[in-house]
Amino acid sequence: MPMQIGLDELLSMLLSRVEGMALESENQKSRFNIMFRILYKKGLFSDQDIVDSVREEHRLLKELGMIEELPPDEALESVAKGLLLWIKGDVATLKKTMQEYEKRVSDAMTKQQKPKIDVAPAAVLGQLERLGGQQQGGKKLIL
């Protein structure tokens, strides 16, 4: 006899699983950050090593066909700079960078124009139907 479960039970189970995966991802990211801070403070890698590693990562992605072209050097250096901010724990600069990013996203959202939908009264639609030669009760899509 097949087991039956409700849609709400299925959704609850899936959401619980996704939440668990998100927590594990954050936990893993935290562990990596801690390890990189230890290695950086011990002088086992330098700022330039990070820039070179970011460049190498993107070169590999390009060769594997996962990206079409290498980002410009300034973009790669920006990624490396962001990693360094996390490794160094520069909270003030991180906050400033996050605020600037949020402002750019907000500005971009306000610049986007949303499509406008106008609804005509029934009397106007009736006039359009008569002008178009349709019989009463016919429907017409107006774009």
Tokens of 15: 């959401």
Same-domain pairing of 30 and 49: no
Cα gap 48→54, rounded to integer Å: 10
Residue 61 lies in a domain: yes
Identity at 44, one-letter amino acid code: L
Q: Which domain holds residue 35?
A: 11-44
The answer to whether residues 17 and 57 belong to one domain is no
CA distance 122 to 115: 22
Q: How many domains does the chain have?
A: 2
User: Is there a single domain that holds both residue 36 and residue 52?
Assistant: no
Collapse the DSSP code of 63 into the 3-class scheme (helix H, G, I; strand E, B; otherwise coil) and give the result. Answer: helix
Closest CA to 14 of 4, 6, 2: 6
Euclidean distance between CA atoms 74 and 31, whole angstroms = 28
Radius of gyration of the chain measured on its C-alpha atoms: 28
CB 69 within 8 A of CB 32: no
Q: What is the pLDDT along the chain (143 residues), one digit of tens a residue?
A: 677 888 889 899 999 999 999 999 999 999 999 999 999 999 999 999 999 999 999 999 999 999 999 999 999 999 999 999 999 989 999 999 899 999 999 988 888 766 677 777 878 877 877 777 655 555 555 55
Predicted TM-score of the model (pTM): 0.58
